[in-house]
Amino acid sequence: MTVTRRIAVLDDARYREHRSPHGHPERPERLAAVGEAIAARRARLLALPARPATPDEILAVHPRAHLERIEAAARLAPAHLDPDTFVSEASFEVALLAAGGAVEAARAVARGEADAALAAVRPPGHHAEADRAMGFCLFNNVAIAARALRADGLERILILDWDVHHGNGTQHLFEDDRDVLYFSTHQFPFYPGSGDFGEAGRGAGLGATVNVPLPGGCGDAEYVGALRRVLAPVAASFRPQLILVSCGFDAHRDDPLASMEVTQNGFGEMTRIVRALAEQACGGRVVFVLEGGYAPSGLREGAGAVLDELLAPEAPPLAPPAPLAPGSTLSHVVGRVAAVQRRFHPEVGSA
């Protein structure tokens, strides 16, 4: 019997009203490419409405001074908050809408109204620190969604960040929290400079931060291998009740801001692994929230691959990974990660 999966998507034309100067890579046209992938599959998707995050939802992550700083900057727009991060007149309202959209998608899946979801929000969020906007990000959308789920009663949440840039803001917000595990694959060294192997959390959260820094030029084999050999055993031991994915598509081979080589097939295989892990651990509950991605082809192909894998009637079980090739980039990276993480997650590198 064919199972019809309830895959939700949240997108809204208002996300295009946040604007940066002409030529800035984080531009409204990014969502046109994602929209093409959504439109091609719209008949099989559930539509979720976007709504602004409430002050309480924002203040669970950011201090009031940060909220007021973004609002004031938008009143003075056009303005910039750092050399990369700009606001237009609509930016404050759109950023609230992005955070609220992430919360709505996460809650829809947590409540069982959808099996999985993609929130095509903008501006992105994972670089936003508690008290600082940076790296195109105003509010930390995924962190706000995670805190909302915790307030609703979920006890363990895994955040997988596969954006090509390390999510410094998300890591710092949760690095002392043992119940929100942050896992990142990212190009390193690269902006913002954080995310080295030894960053594994602090205090009660030691072991609940897992960084997989990758050198430039990595592609499908390294990204898929990192998820299979590191994420899979970490997820098995952590047992999340829901997985949030900071879903950037800037590791795509066409992206102008990075130097990775991930293809459409690679994003599909990564999604297949995440879906299989979610089905093993938490009834398949997984939510993808858009972060970066600055090539139209990468956004279109990546979003299409994610949706196709989520819509597939069944997720094939995880097969044993191929042996690591001695001397390979993947072997070196997995060995470095395992040296840090095996005292917290003994199976890392061996799955």
For residues 126 and 148, what is the distance between their CA atoms, to the nearest angstrom? Answer: 16
How many residues appear in the chain? 351
**Using DSSP, how many helices (H) and how many strands (E) does the chain show?**
11, 10
For residue 212, the cross-strand partners are 185
Query: Counting Cβ atoms within 10 Å, is residue 141 exposed (0-12), middle (13-18) or buried (19+)?
Result: buried
Q: E strands within 102-189?
A: 116-119, 157-161, 180-187
Q: What angle do CA 286, 290, 292 make, to 5 degrees?
A: 135
In degrees rounded to 5, what are phi and psi of residue 312? -60, 140
- Measured N-to-C along each axis, helices 30-39 and 296-311 cross at an angle, to the nearest 10 degrees, of 30
Of 127, 165, 166, 252, the active-site residue reads 127
* Helix/strand/coil for 298: helix
**Whether residue 127 lies in the annotated active site:** yes
By annotation, the residues acting in catalysis are 127
